[in-house]
Amino acid sequence: GAVVSQHPSWVICKSGTSVKIECRSLDFQATTMFWYRQFPKQSLMLMATSNEGSKATYEQGVEKDKFLINHASLTLSTLTVTSAHPEDSSFYICSAGQDTQYFGPGTRLTVL
Amino acid sequence: DAKTTQPTSMDCAEGRAANLPCNHSTISGNEYVYWYRQIHSQGPQYIIHGLKNNETNEMASLIITEDRKSSTLILPHATLRDTAVYYCIVRVVPNTGNQFYFGTGTSLTVIP
């Protein structure tokens, strides 16, 4: 199957700082990528749809000014958590693909 | 996309077949059944998908009832590494949105 990577795999930051997470499709082009968030012992929650060349689409309740998404190329989408706070600590996962979605390995964010 | 219902948890003895059920009674004619699994602290892994015929690949078999209102994922010889949360998702294909909405899944524990 197709391969999706994420970087970094884990990050620890201080409250108030911004953190950027990268999602790359390694062997295919993706005009659309998706970002999910997962809290401990919960299911994945879709946050937003990243569209190459246009603005991201956010799910209801997700703050677009806090979670900035940039789809710079057909193989790269970035999620920036701005002014991070402890409640933003979570497991962030991206996906890409056509009808079958392939998921990245996830990024563990811990905000102190 | 139609909703799915899965048991919260299941146990299976190592070496035996694991049969994971999924109910999707409101599935429509153009919706496929997808199965993913998520091993702790990793991104979801694609397993298999199907429309109405039974499907088999190197990982598992998917049995879909004739009325398509339910399906069963079969892991023929479960190993300890199959311990994971298994998600059953139904979605329209082709899907211009492409996003997956995850339910709560079934936590499968393979017992030595």
- Decide if B34 and A105 are in contact by the 8 Å CB cutoff: no
Q: How are beta strands B9-13 and B106-111 bridged, if at all? A: parallel
- Decide if B42 and A106 are in contact by the 8 Å CB cutoff: yes
Contacts of A108 in chain B (CB under 8 A): 41
Residues of A with CB under 8 A from a CB of B: 1, 4, 6, 32, 34, 36, 43-46, 49, 91, 93, 95, 97-106, 108
The pairs formed by A46-52 with CB atoms below 8 angstroms and a separation of 24 or more are A46/B99, A46/B100, A46/B101, A46/B102, A49/B97, A49/B98, A49/B99, A50/A23, A50/A77, A50/A79, A50/A94, A52/A77
Give the model's pLDDT for residue B2: 63
Share of chain A above pLDDT 90, in %: 84
Give the model's pLDDT for residue B95: 61
- Decide if A49 and B95 are in contact by the 8 Å CB cutoff: no
Give the model's pLDDT for residue A1: 66
pLDDT of A33 > 80? The answer is yes
Average pLDDT over residues A82-98: 95
> What's the pLDDT tens digit per position in A48-85?
999 888 899 999 999 999 999 999 899 999 999 999 99
Average pLDDT over residues A90-108: 93
pLDDT of A12 > 90? The answer is yes
Among chain B residues, the shortest Cα distance to A10 is held by: B41
Q: Which residues of chain B have pLDDT under 50?
A: none
pLDDT of A111 > 90? The answer is yes
pLDDT of A16 > 90? The answer is yes
